[in-house]
Chain A
Amino acid sequence: MSGLESIKVKVEGLGGSAAFAHNALPVLHEIRHALAELAGGGEPTVIDLSAIPFGPGDREQLFQVLGEGEIKATLSAMGESLIRETAYPGVWLVTHLSPQGEELATHIEVARLPALLITPELDVEDALAALSARLQADDPLHPESETNT
């Protein structure tokens, strides 16, 4: 964890030097439990952050602790969704945005791979049909030059 200790987090009103505000810590424990479950060959877990009463600074603190990992992915469908692995492999941060860029929901997904990144089976079948049709055209590389679908 590089440089995190040098970032001074100051949340006013809590007195003393409490390292965490009220709800970042319980969520981190919940993530740890989920990781233990996953490591033991169990099911993935999704935690919906909008259900948790965060005080000011809680969310930022949580994200700071989780940090950034190796993978960033963007889903462009009905607005963007940002899918990032945190510095803890297997712990993913999924943020759904509306087409106007407003945050719809934020989930923490503890899984080998977030569900949204996996290609749906029916999509694969559709892709096969579409590509087969295209390769059967007279000029597969330039289908606009003929009346192809």
Chain B
Amino acid sequence: MTDELTLGERLRQRGVSRRGFLKFCAATASMMALPPSMVPAIAAALEKARRPSVIWLSFQECTGCTESLTRSHAPTIESLIFDHISLDYHHTLQAAAGDAAEHAREAAMQENWGKYLLVVDGSIPTAENGNYSTIAGISNLDMLKEVAEGAAAIVAVGTCAAYGGLPHAKPNPTGAQSVSELISDKPIINVPGCPPIPVVISGVLAHYLTFGVLPELDALGRPMAFFGQNIHDRCYRRPFYERGEFAETFDDEGAKKGWCLFKLGCKGPTTYNACATAKWNEGTSFPIESGHGCIGCSEPNFWDAGGFYQALSVPTGDAGKTLLGAAAVGVAAGAAVGLLNKRNKAKAVEAHEKVTVDDLNRE
């Protein structure tokens, strides 16, 4: 249930000082990959922000994305859940179970119809009438369509929800599909990764909380702030690539010296994510820094994109054809559906009240 207090009022009620609030805004700006100069604008927006209801649906997933989010430290997940959003439904984190949980979801939907944020992790199986995965007797497919109807926007967390992920890999026995393949009349933001970096998930939620809209997206529906650059362009081992100093095996001299892992299958050049800067485990390291090439986990079909240890320069034959075929079908289907639903989506976006970055810059 949403309450009527703004975030600023609620924090002051909790005894958070104005300096504390500014610090929170500075940390939030950093997490959203916004420049520090925007902190005053963010403080102004957060002062007015109201608490959106969030319904989290977990479908055909491994729970890795929830695990990732609960490792997020900025702000702490507890404060994110309890103070800044109203997480009204989440299998792993909620105390209620069974009927009580489903009733809580229905109540939250009714109370906040048209305004709640729907977060989805896991792919949605569509084979056999969607019966490969059900919750309380309702197939994932039906539940997604039902809950999406009243949502203001949908966040597809993890590569499974964003692009189908592991279940979608050949031969895709469950007919797994992504959220955007099934819902086309709502704004959808994809936050891929297997799992996504914790601060990326909470950064997106924080952006929504601050500005009331979803951030700028790339062609695959991913927020530009975190997925705007590929790993290769931000990798600290790039100078070795430029000098042609490659590790040839995992235990040779080059590997020990931290040379480029391109020849050992690193997919950094074709993978867009924030791993090279935000890193993992609170900035400790990321796969390349730990000596293993990037596997491209935030890209569609990464499981079928040739071997993890096969260099990008080696043609993958089979996988290449699959990708081309899928792209062609996708384009045809997408164009038709896109034309029909563009108006609906535009209407849904328009109806949603928001503070834009332009508004803040004007003040």
Contact = CB atoms under 8 A, between A and B. Distances in A.
Contact of A103 (B22, B76, B237, B282): B282
Interface of B: 16-20, 22-24, 26-27, 29-31, 33, 35-37, 73-76, 234-237, 239, 256-259, 276-278, 282-283, 289
Given A46-B36, A55-B236, A99 B76 contact: yes
25 contacts: A12-B257, A12-B258, A22-B236, A46-B37, A47-B36, A48-B29, A51-B30, A52-B277, A53-B276, A55-B289, A77-B16, A77-B23, A78-B24, A98-B73, A98-B75, A104-B30, A104-B31, A105-B26, A105-B27, A105-B30, A107-B36, A116-B26, A120-B18, A123-B17, A123-B18
B235 to A, nearest CB: 7
Contacts of B75: 98, 104
Contacts of B256: 13
B23 A81 contact: yes
A123 B20 CA distance: 12
A56 interface: yes
Contacts of A99: 76
Interface in A43-60: 46-48, 50-56, 58
Contacts, number: 90
A116 B21 CA distance: 10
A48 B289 contact: no
A23 B33 CA distance: 18
A82 to B, nearest CB: 11
B23 A116 contact: yes
Given A48-B35, A120-B18, A23 B236 contact: yes
Interface residues of A, number: 34
Interface string A69-82: 00000010110010
A102 B73 contact: yes
A100 interface: yes
Contact of A75 (B23, B27, B74, B289): B23
B33 A51 contact: yes
A58 B111 CA distance: 51
A104 B258 contact: no
Nearest to A15: B257
Contact of A51 (B16, B27, B37, B277): B277
Interface in A88-105: 96, 98-100, 102-105
A31 to B, nearest CB: 14
B19 A75 contact: yes
Nearest to A81: B23
A58 B236 CA distance: 10
A1 interface: no
A116 to B, nearest CB: 6
A13 B257 contact: yes
A76 B258 CA distance: 40
Contact of B20 (A47, A78, A102, A107): A78
Contacts of A107: 26, 30, 36
Contacts of B29: 48
Given A77-B20, A81-B23, A100-B76, A53 B36 contact: no
A115 interface: yes
A75 B16 CA distance: 12
A122 interface: yes
Given A53-B236, A53-B277, A123-B17, 20 more contacts: A13-B258, A48-B35, A48-B36, A52-B277, A55-B237, A55-B289, A77-B19, A78-B16, A78-B20, A78-B23, A78-B24, A98-B76, A100-B73, A104-B27, A104-B30, A104-B74, A107-B26, A116-B23, A116-B26, A122-B18
Nearest to A21: B236
Contacts of B239: 22
Contacts of A51: 30, 33, 277
Closest 5 CB pairs of A and B: A77-B20, A55-B236, A46-B36, A13-B257, A105-B30
